[in-house]
Amino acid sequence: MRIRSFFSQSVSLSLLSLTVLAVTGCVGPTAPVQSQAGTTTTIIMVRHAEREPGFDPPLNEEGEARAEELADALDENGVTAIFCAAFIRNRQTCDVLADRLGITVEDVSQAELALTKSFADNFVNNVLENHAGGTVLWVGNTGPVIEDVQSGNLQELYMRLGGTGRSPTRYQDIYTATIPEEGPVRFVKAEFGGPSSLD
């Protein structure tokens, strides 16, 4: 399976974000999230599956089974694009689905994820500009959390879309955000594959 970088599509957005940061000194309120006229865009958010210990480990046996269950849950749901954080565990989580659908995974580098608030803004902008009307899967991560500064990319993306309450941080969580052209984002919070031994 070929991997292409999310960075090439978000350079101008990243530079714009850096300019805003330089001028304001912080990230201010963000614009409402709305799909392009005449479209409804969907973003599905999941955490990577269970993994071995370490900084960038592969999936363990439980995680490999969950990756299959994710593919079973989504292979007939119209997924048109798949993005994941550039970690082995994230890639392996979405590879089964990507192979089934013949979709090229779009890789988001660890450098792009370092500032998770900027990542969330850039990711949403990229999806709404380049995948309007589609169904996009994000396979993300949960930490670290720095009070009032940033949290994991899953938490930041969920908040950027207007989510409230618990974000999709458990291994079995699968949250679907439906973004209309007008009105608020709607969420469906579900589970797949059953509870995890790591939660």
Is the pLDDT reported for residue 30 higher than 80?
no
Is the pLDDT reported for residue 5 higher than 60?
no
Question: What is this structure's pTM?
Answer: 0.85
Domains of the chain, earliest start first:
34-191 (3.40.50.1240)
Is the pLDDT reported for residue 128 higher than 60?
yes
Convert the pLDDT of each residue in 98-112 to its tens digit.
999 999 999 999 999
* % the chain with pLDDT above 70: 83
Is the pLDDT reported for residue 26 higher than 80?
no
- Other Cβ atoms closer than 10 A to 65: 15
| Least confidently predicted of 1-5, 45-49, 111-115 | 1-5
Residue 146, pLDDT score = 72
Convert the pLDDT of each residue in 161-189 to its tens digit.
999 999 999 999 999 999 999 999 999 99
The torsion angle over the Cα atoms of residues 146, 143, 159 and 32, rounded to 10 degrees, is 90
**55 vs 13, 78, 85, 87, CA distance in Å?**
29, 33, 13, 9
Q: How confident is the model at residue 197 (pLDDT cuts 50, 70, 90)?
A: very high
- Other Cβ atoms closer than 10 A to 26: 8
Contact assessment for residue 121 and residue 30, using Cβ atoms and an 8 Å cutoff? yes
Is the pLDDT reported for residue 114 higher than 60?
yes
Residue 28, pLDDT score = 43
What is the chain's mean pLDDT, rounded?
87
Residue 149, pLDDT score = 63
Instruction: Give mean pLDDT, residues 46-50.
Output: 98
Contact assessment for residue 58 and residue 93, using Cβ atoms and an 8 Å cutoff? no
Higher pLDDT, 105 or 149: 105
Beta bridge partners of 150: 146
